[in-house]
A and B are shown apart, each in its own frame.
Chain A
Amino acid sequence: MVSSPTSLPSSEEHAANGGLVSRRWLLRSGLVAGAMSASGSLVHAEQLRVPEWSSTPGLKMTGYGQPSPFENSVVRPALDLFPEGIGDGSGVSFTPLEKLAGTITPNGLFFERHHSGIPEIDPAQHQFAIHGNVKRSLLFTVENLLRYPMVSRTCFIECAGNSLFNSMDEPQQRTAGEIHGLIGNAEWTGVPLRLLLDEAGINPDASWVLAEGADAAKMSRSIPLAKIVDDEAIIALYQNGERLRPEQGYPMRLVLPGWQGSMNVKWLRRVKVLNAPVHTKDETSKYTLLQKDGISKQFTYEMGVKSVITSPSPGMEPSNPGLHLISGVAWSGAGRIKRVEISADGGKSWADAIVDQNPASKALTRFQLAWDWKSEPAILLSRATDETGAVQPTRSKWYEPYNSNQLFHQNSIQAWSVSSSGGVSNVYI
């Protein structure tokens, strides 16, 4: 039996403390939107008028479509990492996670991390070399690569420094995107790197490659050959159907699903086949995890299982009591998301959220749950589990081996405190 979408959840639908409503109720209600309208359905609507835009023809076609001017606040907040004139172009900009829905990150809002700015590459002059421990060293043009068979794969890319603000001793009051937005999820289309390596002929004793960019930092990372022969490395030329944006590596970048963002080398100019890692600056000085005992973890490639509630979140606040939708994204560098649980009482009780039944591997996955908020203070948490059984840790558990200023691979549970007036803030629990 299907219950009326406007019927409010009964006490049997209680899933956990703090007003979390069983996911069964939302699923039975069929349309999430219909169910959620329950709280507002008694307000009487005004008589409808015909707006201006229905009375005159609209604008002409455009060459490249832009978002509505009413959406011009949906942008990537940027953060320079050095004072002006010292390291211009070394910085980050954050995907505004809380302002997006679904799972695909629009290309213009996909996070950025550059170590020396965005090079303006002329594709007609860009060249890509494969050499080192191979039978023949090869040089490709972009035009060449566009003639190879291509694969498409939807996956996230996450900076290893994502959520770095939660490594500060005091919780920072920033939006969900400004804390966790060094991640984006896209459909990448391009040539499997293995195909080109086969053409060059990898020698049997090879075990690593170095991938290097054509930017001024000549960003370089060592990558185990195993990741490439597993068909997990794509030289992407397209992102969400169109050619890469300059800030995403135009004309070509490496995509290594589930692995640290900086290994997904942008503006790729060279792959050198090797027998050992190079220990570049960005796999020794940076992107390594110093522990309390003074020993650092190196080559921690896979991004851990993680989730964040994007609504409610700072700036996405419940204005009045009643039914609200808790919504967020989860992901894991190890594979598919299997489960996301939500707590409204700081982790004392948990309810299963609705998660896409067939999520893509190593890709953002949307979760949601109905929440009957009674204007009472609440602490909202989400906790993801992936198909390997890995569970997102609490912040204190995650920090056990580290001093609190260790910031790489921070995948701990985010806590949002909701006040009785609906204000949402970042808290550590």
Chain B
Amino acid sequence: MSTFKASCLSLIWIASAIASSSAQQLGKTITEADLQQWDISIAPDGVGLPQGQGTALIGKELWENNCQACHGENGKGGPAGNLVGGIGTLKDKNHEKTVGSFWPYATTLFDYIRRAMPYYAPGSLTDDEVYALTAYVLQQNGIIDENTELNAKTLMDVKMPNRDGFVQYWPVQPGTK
């Protein structure tokens, strides 16, 4: 037997030996309440969206103070990239991918701002502020108007322009079934 096959088999053997001996059981049980500060991911079903609300009108000032230096006035022309514009350009060679033109779900925007922005102080915004900034970016893209209040319910009503612009290559490559 080649050494490769031998080492492969021994790996499988180790793996199955491990599988049958989850004797360790060293994990400490923890409640969802304990996990609250970490459990920040928001999927398109909106489960886990926090209480709170905000409008683009409120978001405008937050934007100017927390985001504009890197993402530009009105979400355009900043050194960290545009979040606004480009809707309808995806078929062009010089297309512009932004939150407005490219992102399929508004939940991703809420999730990402809350998780990672502003770049040097992620986690510093309140949930109300994240709703307001989400509203501002969507409003600048013409997706909602400046008085639309975003909250856990209304965020789910937002339909992004490129919602149907993706084909999923998992579990199988389309056309190869």
Contact = CB atoms under 8 A, between A and B. Distances in A.
A148 to B, nearest CB: 5
Q: Interface of chain B, helix or strand or loop or mixed? A: loop
Contact of A285 (B17, B34, B103, B170): B103
Contact of A281 (B4, B90, B108): B108
Given A130-B27, A279-B108, A87 B43 contact: no
B116 A280 contact: no
Interface string B132-170: 000000000000000000000000000000000111111
Interface stretch (A6-14, A62-70, A196-204): A196-204
Interface in A56-91: 82-83, 86-87, 90
A87 B27 CA distance: 36
A152 B14 CA distance: 10
A280 B112 contact: yes
Contacts of B34: 139
Contacts of B170: 224, 299-301
Contact of B166 (A86, A139, A147, A295): A295
Most buried by B among A149, A274, A284, A358: A284
B18 A86 contact: no
B41 A280 contact: yes
A131 B42 contact: no
A194 B15 CA distance: 10
B65 interface: no
Interface residues of B, number: 59
A285 B102 CA distance: 7
A125 interface: no
A271 B116 CA distance: 18
Interface string B1-28: 0111100000100110111011011111
Contact of B105 (A130, A148, A279, A296): A279
A210 B165 contact: no
B43 A274 contact: yes
B15 A298 contact: no
Contacts of B105: 279, 284
Given A151-B14, A276-B43, A216 B19 contact: no
A82 B70 CA distance: 10
Pairs of residues from A and B, 8 with the lowest C-beta to C-beta distance, nearest first: A138-B27, A358-B4, A299-B170, A144-B26, A294-B91, A294-B90, A281-B112, A298-B166
Given A116-B122, A300-B169, 7 more contacts: A139-B27, A152-B11, A196-B27, A290-B95, A293-B91, A295-B167, A299-B170
11 contacts: A138-B28, A144-B27, A148-B24, A149-B21, A196-B27, A270-B38, A281-B111, A285-B102, A296-B166, A358-B4, A404-B93
